[in-house]
Amino acid sequence: MALVKFIEYADASAEVRAVYDDIMASRKVDWINNFWKALANDPVTLKRTWESVKQVMAPGALDSLTKELLYIAVSVTNNCTYCINSHTAIARKAGMTDAMFAELQAVVAMANETNRLVIGYQVETDERIANAAKQR
């Protein structure tokens, strides 16, 4: 159970409502999910977090769906049930097919595996790789 009360729209301050309105308008939905209702206990964090998410997740050099897949990859690695569910829902809406979902999971799992082989063997980065990884 959440450690704070959820702030419903009807009970929200003008400051919180402004954020709720922007979330609904930006996402083209007519309801607010629990995450924001919990954060609304701290209006400053609510506003900053929403504005940051909106900025970071907007399409740019990477499209929106790719960004959602990256979000899921992190959330699976960190084991965040809410986050996996909410970003899988958004990704499906944005066009993620079952095949894409399955490949995403396979890559995330494989990366978690090879990360530990590298760490377990304490492999040093090849000079050529370090050079190729750097900005030109």
Count residues near a second copy (CB under 8 A). Answer: 86
Contacting residue, 17, 22, 24, 80, with a second copy by CB under 8 A: 80
User: Is 13 one of the binding residues for a second copy (CB under 8 A)?
Assistant: no
Supply the DSSP string of 31-56, one letter for each residue. Answer: S--HHHHHHTTSHHHHHHHHHHHHHH
Q: Which is nearer to a second copy, 21 or 113 (CB)?
A: 113
| Site mask for a second copy (CB under 8 A), range 35-74, x = bound | x--xx-xx-xx--xx--xx-xxx--xxx---xx-xxxxxx
Closest CA to 97 of 78, 57, 61, 69: 69
Residue 18 touches a second copy, criterion: CB under 8 A = no
Measured distance CA(14)–CA(22) in Å, rounded: 12
Instruction: Of 85, 76, 94, 19, give the one whose Cα is nearest residue 52.
Output: 19
Question: Least CB distance from residue 25 to a second copy, whole Å?
Answer: 18
